[in-house]
Structure 1
Amino acid sequence: MNDEMQKKPDYGKISKILVETLKLPQSPVAVKLAKSPEGIPEGVEEIKDTVRHCQMVAMAGREGKIFYARADKHACAGGAWALGLKEITPSLQTGEFYFKLGKFESWASCMRTIKSIPNVHKTSSTEPATYATVYAPLEKTPFDPHVIIIVSQPVMMLKFAQALLYKMGGRIHSEFSGIQSVCADACTQPYLTGKANISLGCDGSRKFSGIDDDYMVMGIPAEIIEEVAEAVPIVSGAPGSKTRK
């Protein structure tokens, strides 16, 4: 099951437009949730180290690395669960994990938050929903991604928000809870809903993947990245538009 798109966007061109127009601090990151071994592109190797999903995104965006990671290469249990690689752990499900970190007044408030976090559900009783996550800088991606992850300043997120609304208008509705930002907020949420999502980041992603204090995170479904790239130069060049100097 290769899970490729029927339409074949020019990802290199799209990345060039986004990076050059908005002066992004790192490449947009292409992420695929491969459902089977057949979904791993030929020639792409598995990561050797065991790290967090947010660190893998940083490796692709800042270092230009292309790789995949199965469940045993994911160090963060919460991230692996949100991405459909592993079952949720008992301590996470009950609220114990985040309660002990001091981020909630009660286990119950933590449990309510956990229940609202998007996660990729498995489709059978024996196999996980996701076989492996695959990463690449967007301009070099050898696969059709499911989600494009952007890490940048708030003013650049403003341009992306305006680009998302350029054709149809409306409002941007983002969901986050201050935890699991790069996995659940910026990857799973867009994957499941087909809508872009903006997140403030979380303590874990900022600590372990080096997301700057002045940066935010956004996930954009791959199906709409082409139209977003078309709109970005227009909204950025519009009279009165404010972009990064």
Structure 2
Amino acid sequence: MSNEPMKIAIDYPEAAATLKRVLGLKGSPVAIKFATTKEEIPAGMEELDKTIRHCSMVNLARTEGKIFSATSGKHECNGGAWSLGLREITPTLKSGEFYFKLGKFDSAAACKRTIDKVSHLNPGDTYATLYAPLEKTPFTPQVILIIANPRIMLKLAQSTLFRLGGRISAEFSGIQSVCSDATAQTYLTGRPNFSLGCDGSRRFSGIADDEMVMGFPAEMLPEIIEALPIIIGASGSK
């Protein structure tokens, strides 16, 4: 992973303004980057001063405009830290015991089958995760997250299909929604993903009952920005 900007320049403040205006977002789109070394963290960018979950970190950037980095020790959720490549998976998470004890599955085996398919970076791949509202990002993002209601998600989905068409295959399992589904999976596959949120993210990060989560590769931002006004203004659009 390089700290160099993308070869095709993107005006992030303008793109964020377009997303907010056209979609009527309540908060900011969130820029995220996986820093592999300390040197990849922009100069002057402070580390988060508390230990919380990745989904809560996203909410700080989304609703409060916070810009910060977070090394492994600042990540409260073991599952989130594992999926983001910050630390090894814990034995209870790997075996299925953790989610089984939370009552999420009928058996530990069912849980393990789910955990085995959770998208994650290799442990140690990430030195720190970086967060910023898109309009103020001091780094070149790799993933952009949007939390919004289903109608907005519909328009975002349509915008990803505007140029080439096809179908969208969303993957989620009701756990690790913001960390794995929307962030790690999106980065690893290079494809947008939609998720319903999970109990943890809805409980700790301010995702409302009527909101969903979308992550898309930052490289897709120009085509989404170009397509959205056309999609919204189409005669068949609601």
Tell me the CA shift for residue 3 of structure 1.
4.8
Name the structure 2 match of 1:204. 200
- 2:95 corresponds in structure 1 to 94
How many equivalent pairs are there? 237
- Specify the SS of the correspondent of 1:151: strand
Aligned to 1:173: 169
Q: How does 1:5-44 map to 2 (within 5 A)?
A: 5-44=6-45
1:61-76 alignment to 2 at 5 Å? 61-76=62-77
Following superposition, the deviation at residue 43 of structure 1 comes to 1.2
Separation in 1, partners of 2:153, 2:121: 25
Question: 2: distance between equivalents of 1:114 and 1:22?
Answer: 34
Rounded to whole Å, the distance in 2 between the matches of 1:178 and 1:4 is 34
Deviation digits for residues 35-70 of structure 1 (CA, Å, limit 9, x no counterpart): 111110111100000000000000001000000000
Amino acid at match of 1:82: S
Q: Check the 8 A contact 1:53/1:183 in 2, yes or no.
A: yes
Structure 2 counterpart of 1:57: 58
| 2:157 counterpart of 1:156 | no
CA RMSD of superposed structures (Å): 0.8
Partner Cα distance (1:15, 1:240) in 2: 25
Is residue 230 from structure 1 mapped to residue 226 from structure 2 by the alignment?
yes
**Alpha-carbon distance in 1 for matches of 2:106, 2:143:** 34
**What percent identity do the matched residue pairs reach?**
59
Residue of structure 1 equivalent to 2:126 = 130
Q: Superposed, which structure 2 residues align to 1:184-223 within 5 Å? A: 184-223=180-219
Match of 2:47 in 1: 46
The separation in 2 between residues aligned to 1:35 and 1:3, in whole angstroms, is 13
Q: Report which stretch shifted further, 74-83 or 113-122.
A: 113-122
Task: Name the aligned partner's letter for residue 191 of structure 1.
Answer: Y
- Evaluate the alpha carbon distance shift between residue 204 and residue 3 of structure 1 in structure 2; reply closer, same or farther with a 3 A threshold: farther
CA distance in 2, matches of 1:3, 1:204: 34
In 1, Cα distance between the equivalents of 2:90 and 2:12? 36
Give the match for residue 81 of structure 2. 80
Instruction: Please state if 1:116 is matched with 2:112.
Output: no
Equivalents in 2 of 1:203, 1:3: separation in Å?
36
Asked if the contact 2:3/2:140 (under 8 Å) is kept, the reply is no
SS at match of 2:132: strand
Gaps of 5+ in 1: 123-127
Contact 1:3 1:34 in 2 (8 A): no
Unaligned runs of 5+ in 2: none
Q: CA deviation at 1:7?
A: 2.4
TM-score normalized by the length of structure 1: 0.95
Instruction: State the Cα distance separating 1:181 from its structure 2 match.
Output: 0.3
C-alpha deviation, 1:25, in angstroms? 1.2
Amino acid at match of 1:185: D
Measured in 1, the distance between the counterparts of 2:127 and 2:133 equals 20
User: Deviation above 4 Å: which 4+ runs of structure 1?
Assistant: none
